[in-house]
Amino acid sequence: MNPDRILKVGGALTALGMVLSLIAMSPLVIGGHLSSAWWFLAMLTGTGLICILIGIKSASRARTRAVQSLKGI
Protein backbone atom coordinates (compact mmCIF):
# COMPACT_ATOMS: atom_id res chain seq x y z
CA MET A 1 0.00 0.00 0.00
CA ASN A 2 1.16 3.52 -0.78
CA PRO A 3 2.70 5.26 2.29
CA ASP A 4 0.83 8.48 1.49
CA ARG A 5 -2.46 6.61 1.51
CA ILE A 6 -1.60 4.99 4.84
CA LEU A 7 -0.90 8.45 6.29
CA LYS A 8 -4.22 9.82 4.99
CA VAL A 9 -6.18 6.86 6.38
CA GLY A 10 -4.37 7.20 9.71
CA GLY A 11 -5.17 10.90 9.89
CA ALA A 12 -8.82 10.28 9.11
CA LEU A 13 -9.06 7.50 11.72
CA THR A 14 -7.39 9.71 14.32
CA ALA A 15 -9.76 12.61 13.64
CA LEU A 16 -12.79 10.31 13.69
CA GLY A 17 -11.61 8.71 16.92
CA MET A 18 -11.22 12.11 18.57
CA VAL A 19 -14.75 13.11 17.61
CA LEU A 20 -16.06 9.79 18.91
CA SER A 21 -14.10 10.32 22.13
CA LEU A 22 -15.86 13.63 22.65
CA ILE A 23 -19.21 11.95 22.06
CA ALA A 24 -18.31 9.15 24.48
CA MET A 25 -17.37 11.67 27.19
CA SER A 26 -20.40 13.90 26.67
CA PRO A 27 -22.54 12.11 29.31
CA LEU A 28 -19.98 13.16 31.92
CA VAL A 29 -20.73 16.80 31.11
CA ILE A 30 -24.40 16.89 30.14
CA GLY A 31 -25.64 13.78 31.90
CA GLY A 32 -27.32 10.81 30.36
CA HIS A 33 -26.10 7.41 29.31
CA LEU A 34 -24.40 6.04 26.20
CA SER A 35 -23.68 2.43 25.40
CA SER A 36 -20.22 1.00 25.89
CA ALA A 37 -19.83 0.68 22.12
CA TRP A 38 -18.91 4.38 22.01
CA TRP A 39 -15.83 3.73 24.14
CA PHE A 40 -14.78 0.99 21.76
CA LEU A 41 -15.25 3.31 18.76
CA ALA A 42 -13.22 6.01 20.52
CA MET A 43 -10.23 3.65 20.39
CA LEU A 44 -9.99 4.44 16.68
CA THR A 45 -7.73 7.31 17.77
CA GLY A 46 -5.01 4.86 18.74
CA THR A 47 -5.53 2.82 15.61
CA GLY A 48 -5.13 5.95 13.52
CA LEU A 49 -1.94 6.92 15.33
CA ILE A 50 -0.51 3.45 14.68
CA CYS A 51 -1.38 3.80 10.98
CA ILE A 52 0.37 7.18 10.90
CA LEU A 53 3.51 5.70 12.45
CA ILE A 54 3.49 2.79 9.98
CA GLY A 55 3.03 5.24 7.10
CA ILE A 56 5.92 7.41 8.25
CA LYS A 57 8.18 4.38 8.61
CA SER A 58 7.30 2.96 5.19
CA ALA A 59 7.71 6.38 3.55
CA SER A 60 11.15 6.78 5.09
CA ARG A 61 12.17 3.31 3.91
CA ALA A 62 10.99 4.08 0.39
CA ARG A 63 12.90 7.37 0.40
CA THR A 64 16.05 5.63 1.68
CA ARG A 65 15.79 2.99 -1.05
CA ALA A 66 15.39 5.71 -3.69
CA VAL A 67 18.45 7.60 -2.47
CA GLN A 68 20.54 4.44 -2.30
CA SER A 69 19.55 3.46 -5.84
CA LEU A 70 20.61 6.91 -7.07
CA LYS A 71 23.97 6.60 -5.30
CA GLY A 72 24.50 3.10 -6.71
CA ILE A 73 24.97 1.45 -3.32
What are 16-71's pLDDT values in tens digits? Answer: 999 999 988 888 888 888 788 888 888 999 999 999 999 999 999 988 988 888 88
Query: Domain boundaries in the chain?
Result: 3-71
Overall pTM surpassing 0.75 (yes/no)? yes
What's the rounded Cα separation, in Å, for the pair 19 and 57? Answer: 26
Would the pLDDT of 11 be above 90?
Answer: yes
**CA–CA gap between residue 51 and residue 71 (Å, rounded):** 30
Q: Alpha-carbon distance 16 to 24, whole Å? A: 12
DSSP 36: T
Does the pLDDT of residue 5 top 90, yes or no?
Answer: yes
pLDDT band at 73 (very low <50, low <70, confident <90, very high): low
Whether residue 59 contacts residue 10, with contact meaning beta carbons closer than 8 Å, is answered with no
